[in-house]
Amino acid sequence: MKNYKIYAGGTFIETSQVLEVQNPFDKSIMAKTFLADKEILNIAIEKAIAVEQELKHMPVYQRYEILQQIAFKLSEDKERLASILSIESGKPIRYALGEIARAIQTFTIASEEAKRLPHEYLSIDWTPAGHGKQGVVKYEPIGLIAGIAPFNFPLNLAVHKIAPAIATGNPIILKPARSTPLSTLELAKIINKTSLPKGAVSILPMDRETGNLLVTDERIKKLSFTGSPQVGWKMKTQAGKKRLTLELGGNAGVLVSDKADIDLAVKKCMIGSFAYSGQVCIHVQRIYVQESVFEEFTNKMIEATKKLQVGDPMNPATEVSVMIDEANAKRVEAWVNDAVADGAKVLAGGQRKDTFYEPTLITNTQPEMNVCSLEVFGPVVTVEKYSNLQSGIDAINDSQYGLQAGIFTDSIQELNSAFDQLEVGGVIHNDVPTFRVDHMPYGGIKNSGFGREGVKYAMRDMLEPKLLVMDS
């Protein structure tokens, strides 16, 4: 069993609190690492603050070179890193390789955006009081950032916090999920070999009590959290004066018009519905199909769902594997069973064995059912009819969430209506809401949180404008 030290203030250390990391597929212990306590977190905070000025004045070319070096080292070792990621998370290896590729891209984007930090020249003489004066605005790093990353994309969602911090010259302390800390600790080994000042990055698994200090400690100037709404909104009440970015998931909807390519819609919806067992914030959860094509679409989805390859995540042929743990698989099972008891109909799937829950399609649901109203975060999709586009839009908007939505249509009028009226942070045309590339602005409204990720957009919130007014 491999031993992973945690990365505190630029030093790899062990602690008295051992954390065993379990393989969700076979429930074996694959590695052990450690939890940081309050004293170790305090050391990481002090080390981070000690290098703030060095980071602030680091030339752009050095930030660029560091970020490029990290990207290169990830690329050089991508197969091994993907295997670790796959085993710790239960994510099929095909998707683990994709996540490593995205992490490489995120660091690459950050290296380029480090060259494009905002700055402005202002005309001050818009009023008589400003006559003879001019202004310059530069943007400076805000200081220590805390990031809390979830289990479902254990590397790339951590990188979406780390890479923008490095690009803007801010130190960061990253707390990975306790179930999936190994990918980020492998990243720590790569970062440690760069010329980044020691203390600029710490990666610390912690228990919830210690981790909550990332929320409450006033020395931390910004918190970026990806996780559940219940936890995220509570953090907001405890965070004091610090800035926050909250990405809190959703129950993403898709519209399939009678003016759409049905085969394309089925193909895309299959990926969006069942990739990584639906454990994706923008997992396709609610599909609304125009009634004249409902039967065609649904029959094709049922057929495709039954053909999915399930099994060991390390098998390259596997499309769907286990969930992160048995507790979550049981929760999904209970939600589906409750829906069926209240009149829903299972079209495919619907069975659980240990940590595995079958890819499942259901219909005849009601908006108030958990499988519709809450974030299922599992391989369960509802399929329902709509009569006209407006009723479909209204159905998607009938939600406490608003992260992303998809629409399949070849009508520009329908697309414009959907883009104008859908209450979400992003609308994806002829694709599923699961679509994301790492430079686009990503985030939601309503109970899905606020703020945006996507490297440039994350960087903006890590900078503070500073004005110089001078004689012209």
β-sheet bridge partners, residue 346: 362
243 & 294 share domain: no
242 & 306 share domain: no
Q: What's the rounded Cα separation, in Å, for the pair 162 and 204?
A: 13
302 within domain boundaries: yes
Residue 263: how many CB atoms within 10 A of its CB?
11
Could you give the number of structural domains in the chain? 2
289 within domain boundaries: yes
286 & 369 share domain: yes
The 3-state secondary structure of 72-94 reads HHHHHCHHHHHHHHHHHHCCCHH
33 within domain boundaries: yes
Q: What's the rounded Cα separation, in Å, for the pair 5 and 32?
A: 9
- Please, which residues have CB within 8 angstroms of residue 299's CB and are 6 or more apart in sequence? none
Q: In what order do the strands lie in the sheet with 119-123?
A: 119-123, 133-141, 463-471
Q: Can you give the pLDDT of all 472 residues of the chain as single tens digits?
A: 899 999 999 999 999 999 999 999 999 999 999 999 999 999 999 999 999 999 999 999 999 999 999 999 999 999 999 999 999 999 999 999 999 999 999 999 999 999 999 999 999 999 999 999 999 999 999 999 999 999 999 999 999 999 999 999 999 999 999 999 999 999 999 999 999 999 999 999 999 999 999 999 999 999 999 999 999 999 999 999 999 999 999 999 999 999 999 999 999 999 999 999 999 999 999 999 999 999 999 999 999 999 999 999 999 999 999 999 999 999 999 999 999 999 999 999 999 999 999 999 999 999 999 999 999 999 999 999 999 999 999 999 999 999 999 999 999 999 999 999 999 999 999 999 999 999 999 999 999 999 999 999 999 999 999 999 999 8
389 within domain boundaries: yes
The 3-state secondary structure of 269-287 reads HHHHHHHHHHCCCCCCCEE
203 & 298 share domain: no
CATH number of 389's domain? 3.40.309.10
145 & 259 share domain: no
The reported pLDDT for the residue numbered 175 is: 98
Q: What's the rounded Cα separation, in Å, for the pair 145 and 165?
A: 7
Residue with tokens 């009226």: 421
> Among 71, 75, 59, 3, which Cα is nearest to 33's?
3
460 & 424 share domain: no
CATH number of 199's domain? 3.40.605.10
Tell how far CA 15 is from the center of its chain.
29
44 & 90 share domain: yes
- The set of catalytic residues is 247, 281
291 & 403 share domain: yes
Query: In the chain, how long is the greatest CA-to-CA distance?
Result: 76
Does the pTM surpass 0.75? The reply is yes
Are β-strands 360-363 and 345-348 bridged in parallel, bridged antiparallel, or unpaired? antiparallel
160 within domain boundaries: yes
86 & 162 share domain: yes
188 & 324 share domain: no
The reported pLDDT for the residue numbered 1 is: 80
The reported pLDDT for the residue numbered 54 is: 98
234 & 307 share domain: no
Are β-strands 253-256 and 404-408 bridged in parallel, bridged antiparallel, or unpaired? parallel
Which domain covers residue 87, as residue numbers? 2-248+449-471
443 within domain boundaries: no
| Residues 358 and 274: beta-carbon distance below 8 Å | no
Q: What's the rounded Cα separation, in Å, for the pair 37 and 464?
A: 31
128 within domain boundaries: yes
133 & 52 share domain: yes
